[in-house]
Chains A and B, each alone.
Chain A
Amino acid sequence: MRWEKDPILHVEHLKMRFGGLVAVNDLSFKVGRGDITALIGPNGAGKTTVFNCITGFYKPSEGMLTLRHKAGDRAGSDDGSFLLERLPGHRISQDARVARTFQNIRLFSGMTVLENLLVAQHNTLMQASGFTIAGLFGLPSFRAAEREAVDKARHWLEKINLIERADDPAGDLPYGDQRRLEIARAMCTDPVLLCLDEPAAGLNPRESQELNNLLLSVRNDHNTAVLLIEHDMSVVMQISDHVIVLDYGTKIADGTPEEIRNDQRVIAAYLGVDDDEVEEVEAEVRA
């Protein structure tokens, strides 16, 4: 259980209230360093709310979210740990290095694919441009940094097969490409944890397979932990190392895909209680 030994993210007693509605209630879990962790659960279980708390879009009502960088990493605080619930939104990406994608894709649709990837490297480039002043006079150090940024963008574009479309507006890409581009854009911020909100939604089987390979490469080649919300069981079961199941804002199961697959309670709660349906879905899950 890597997530118990070396968690990158530790969520403790997370609670999120909207007026009278408790969307997430006393939720605790750990995300392992170098794992692909899937957060699953029926619609309205509070998955996206958890994401929004982790990435700073909501301030949790209660609870603690600790992110730990590896010792010796470019760490921000003394022991390399960040309390995400206390960081201002943009610091979560800039310092704690948590990146995310959105359920309804949020690309800069009027900007080109390349520009999208450069905006993601804003903070690095901003420093290189001497907070604009050096950049205004076109100092060589800034030019070098920009070249590096373009190279990094090119690397990702080759990886997601979009190099040919680098100069096209992001809004013109087909849906599947937009999803991959959004992941590449998040990766350009050099995250230690990548949070993906339903990355496979709306993809066809071939694209879904490509996505699996991309995510595996993110984990293996870039040492980035992945936390994803997903409904597509083929993605969840094939690539995740760890699955957490939510229902009504609380955790009902937590373990390896094997364990989750065989957890009757999960199947019942997650998929409804009708016996016939359970069998049907069990078959699908096993397949």
Chain B
Amino acid sequence: MEVFAQQLINGLTLGSIYGLIAIGYTMVFGIIGMVNFAHGDVFMVSAFIAMIFFLLLTTWLGIASIALALLLVLVLAMLMTALWGWTLERLAYRPLRGSFRLAPMISAIGVAIFLANFVQVSQGARNKAVPPIVTDVIVLFERNGYAVALSYKQIIIMSVTAVLLTAFWFVVTRTSLGRAQRACEQDRKMAALLGIDVDRTISLTFVLGAALAAVAGTMFFLYYGVVGFTDGFIPGVKAFTAAVLGGIGSLPGAVLGGLIIGLVETFWSAYFSIEYKDVAAFSILAIVLIFMPSGILGRPEVEKV
């Protein structure tokens, strides 16, 4: 029971990070039907950006308030990562739009390899660790000598995720950008004929996705305090699994899928075997795709003859 409660908390924290990344996959897939393989690495880059800004603000500029520093880091990381998202779309994907279906996929794989090695070359191959940033913990209850704790970090992560997702939800459902996105999803040609700037809409989709990945990256950095240049691939695949599980193209689905994957991973590690936790994630991915390709909240695809 105690272990269960603790794992539930840990799983939800991890799940909100996956959910944030998953939104980037699902949005891009929805609008241009492409699996953005590089998204996991964009997330990794954003974690590095967050780490460097954090060091910059705390050690060089001497900001003593951790809360203020974290807020600034979050905003700056979102901005900078958004620029990365914009640039990548512009250089690696836009020239390939409407061309051969495989080309953007290969290009995205190239971008993923490039980003990981760019970080390796510019920052070194070793993992970067910082001392724990926020260490306070609230003990929820204690029984049989096992304390179920909710750390401040976890509270920050879950609440920031909730707030930003609400803001994001508002953007995609209530603003003209969201409307334009949905129109492009339905029929890009028709949307263009109706005066929607399709290129700009797609660009903004990448920018939004990257910004949310930056939130995830910042939270990841805050949570673990360690980042490495290989940290993009596995979280990327897990977040993609989350997007597929929730129903690719569905935004609430991505968040739901993220939470489920986070919970499955933590419970699997706690009760079965930690070695096979990635196997579990990949197996879920395969099983969902084979038996439930439209996911939990997605629309089933009807074959047109």
Chain A residues, CB < 8 A from B303: 57
Chain A residues, CB < 8 A from B302: 18
Question: Cβ of A81 < 8 Å from any Cβ of B?
Answer: no
Tell me the bound Cα distance from A52 to B303 in angstroms.
11
Chain B residues, CB < 8 A from A18: 302
- CB-CB nearest in chain B for A52: B305
Question: Cβ of A102 < 8 Å from any Cβ of B?
Answer: yes
A55 vs chain B, min Cβ distance (A)? 9
B263-305 near A? 1/0 per residue, CB < 8 Å? 0000000000000000000000000000000000000001101
Tell me the bound Cα distance from A52 to B302 in angstroms.
13
Tell me the bound Cα distance from A138 to B158 in angstroms.
67
Chain B residues, CB < 8 A from A102: 305
Chain B residues, CB < 8 A from A57: 303, 305
Q: How many residues of A contact B (CB 8 A)?
A: 5
A186 vs chain B, min Cβ distance (A)? 15
Chain B residues, CB < 8 A from A52: 305
B246 vs chain A, min Cβ distance (A)? 22
A99 vs chain B, min Cβ distance (A)? 14
Tell me the bound Cα distance from A18 to B302 in angstroms.
10
- CB-CB nearest in chain A for B303: A57
Tell me the bound Cα distance from A57 to B305 in angstroms.
8
- CB-CB nearest in chain A for B300: A19
B56 vs chain A, min Cβ distance (A)? 55
Chain A residues, CB < 8 A from B305: 48, 52, 57, 102
- CB-CB nearest in chain A for B302: A18
A103 vs chain B, min Cβ distance (A)? 9
Tell me the bound Cα distance from A57 to B303 in angstroms.
9
Chain B residues, CB < 8 A from A48: 305
Tell me the bound Cα distance from A102 to B305 in angstroms.
8
B294 vs chain A, min Cβ distance (A)? 14
B303 vs chain A, min Cβ distance (A)? 8
A88 vs chain B, min Cβ distance (A)? 15
Tell me the bound Cα distance from A52 to B304 in angstroms.
10
A53 vs chain B, min Cβ distance (A)? 11
Tell me the bound Cα distance from A101 to B305 in angstroms.
11
A44-84 near B? 1/0 per residue, CB < 8 Å? 00001000100001000000000000000000000000000
- CB-CB nearest in chain A for B305: A57
- CB-CB nearest in chain B for A197: B305
A24 vs chain B, min Cβ distance (A)? 14
A180 vs chain B, min Cβ distance (A)? 21
B90-118 near A? 1/0 per residue, CB < 8 Å? 00000000000000000000000000000
A252 vs chain B, min Cβ distance (A)? 25
Tell me the bound Cα distance from A190 to B81 in angstroms.
61
Tell me the bound Cα distance from A48 to B305 in angstroms.
9
A1-47, CB < 8 A from B: 18
Tell me the bound Cα distance from A160 to B303 in angstroms.
31
Tell me the bound Cα distance from A114 to B276 in angstroms.
52
- CB-CB nearest in chain B for A18: B302
Tell me the bound Cα distance from A204 to B207 in angstroms.
50
- CB-CB nearest in chain B for A102: B305
Tell me the bound Cα distance from A244 to B195 in angstroms.
45
A137 vs chain B, min Cβ distance (A)? 34
Tell me the bound Cα distance from A82 to B305 in angstroms.
23
- CB-CB nearest in chain B for A58: B305
Tell me the bound Cα distance from A102 to B304 in angstroms.
11
B264 vs chain A, min Cβ distance (A)? 31
B100 vs chain A, min Cβ distance (A)? 12
Tell me the bound Cα distance from A57 to B302 in angstroms.
11
- CB-CB nearest in chain B for A51: B305
- CB-CB nearest in chain B for A57: B305
A76 vs chain B, min Cβ distance (A)? 24
B273 vs chain A, min Cβ distance (A)? 41
Tell me the bound Cα distance from A176 to B189 in angstroms.
27
Tell me the bound Cα distance from A18 to B305 in angstroms.
14
A131-171, CB < 8 A from B: none
A57 vs chain B, min Cβ distance (A)? 5
A197 vs chain B, min Cβ distance (A)? 9
6 A-B pairs in the complex with CB atoms less than 8 angstroms apart: A18-B302, A48-B305, A52-B305, A57-B303, A57-B305, A102-B305
Q: Residues of B with Cβ closer than 8 Å to A?
A: 302-303, 305
Top 6 A-B residue pairs of the complex, sorted by shortest distance between their CB atoms: A57-B305, A52-B305, A102-B305, A48-B305, A57-B303, A18-B302
